Amino acid sequence: MPELPEVETVCAGLKPHLVNNAITSITLRRGDLRFPVNRKALAPFRGRSILDITRRGKYILMHFGEGGLLWHLGMSGSLRLEARRRPPRKHDHLTLRFPDTYLHFNDPRRFGLVLPVAGFADHPLLAKLGPEPLTRAFSKPYLERALAGRRIGIKQAIMDNKVVVGVGNIYASEALFAAGLHPLIPANALSRDQYGKLSKSIKKILGAAIRAGGTTLRDFTDANGNPGYFKQQLLVYGRVHAPCLRCGEPITKLTVAGRSTFLCRVCQPRVPRLRVS
DNA sequence: CGAAACTCCTGAGCGC
DNA sequence: TGCGCTCAGGAGTTTC
């Protein structure tokens, strides 16, 4: 399940191999992805060089001289570099050939996408995205402002790409645990300090996950096939009934808006405790 | 506008 | 060994 740290890890793995390399051939095997894509739309990219590869939220932006390819890994997608030609594997929907490498896009569930775009700046899929969590734009005052009037649970709120990009189901649970906040607290009901603590927790968790190369639960690997190691640092996600590593209370699992949600009921009280100062 | 339901899809895991 | 069921979930779209 690629979230921001996993996508960042994939980008970092792709860049040194692909930037300043030209696509020599394109093989599309299945185009019915999140949005349909066809050979005709991809054909103009043959022979063109990749100038840069960047990330926006969980999207990967492959920049060419004019226009680019916009990618998303959905929840089961992967981009994998291979030095040698090999037979396509099941769900290898697209393969880009470069002089020294092959790039395979594999996605069993086909929630992912690859989209030829004229430009990224004003593309509708990117235009309304919230700030990057690891920038200064994502701050205590920003978060307080962005969530004013929002009555949904704080977990749903931080997973909303218009509020902040890149926080998926795993890191939402982890960040709320780190901030000591119950996932169902209304998004507009946090104290000023809690908005600060939450924004800091999100930055801390995502930063640590990037440094660990992402989280491999089942099958995530980077562009070179290596797993990520952040799973060892998960404190609540997937740990239902296991003791909280801070207080010993068994971890609870809830379903919030259809998503598995893990928390410690002691460390994350639903009603913030009154503190005597 | 906000909020919630709905939708896409395949593979893993489970009970029998 | 196989069948049928449930679950996993990013995020765009639809509905109210």
DSSP string, A235-268: SSTT-TTSBPTTT-PBPEEEEETTEEEEE-TTTS
pTM to 2 decimals?
0.94
Nucleotides of C under 7 A from a protein CB: 7-12
Alpha-carbon distance of A130 to A127, in angstroms, equals 9
In contact, A197 and A30? CB cutoff 8 Å: no
Residue closest to sugar C1' of B11 by CA: A108
Q: Which of A230, A210, A219 is nearest to A12 (CA)?
A: A210
What band does A225 get if pLDDT is binned at 50, 70 and 90? confident
Alpha-carbon distance of A257 to A152, in angstroms, equals 10
- Whether the beta carbon of A130 falls within 7 A of nucleic chain C: the reply is no
Instruction: Find where tokens 């395979």 sit.
Output: A104
* Distance between the alpha carbon (CA) of A78 and the C1' atom of C3, Å: 31
Three-point CA angle A231, A234, A237, nearest 5°:
105
pLDDT per residue as tens digits for the range A86-105: 999 989 999 999 999 999 99
b/e code A19-46 from CB counts within 10 Å (16+ = b): eeeebeebebeeeebbeebeeeebeebe
Give the residue numbers of A marked as catalytic. Answer: 2-3, 58, 259
What band does A275 get if pLDDT is binned at 50, 70 and 90? very low
In contact, A221 and A78? CB cutoff 8 Å: yes
Per-residue confidence (pLDDT) for residue A214, from 0 to 100: 79
pLDDT per residue as tens digits for the range A136-170: 999 999 999 999 999 999 999 999 999 999 999 99
Q: For nucleic chain B, give residues with Cβ below 7 angstroms from it.
A: A 32, 90-91, 108-111, 149-152, 156, 218, 257-258
* Distance between the alpha carbon (CA) of A269 and the C1' atom of B7, Å: 34
Burial-class residue A85 by CB neighbours within 10 Å (0-12, 13-18, 19+).
Answer: exposed
DSSP 8-state class, residue A135: S
| Nucleotide whose C1' lies closest to the alpha carbon of residue A58 | C10
Per-residue confidence (pLDDT) for residue A227, from 0 to 100: 82
| Nucleotide whose C1' lies closest to the alpha carbon of residue A91 | B10
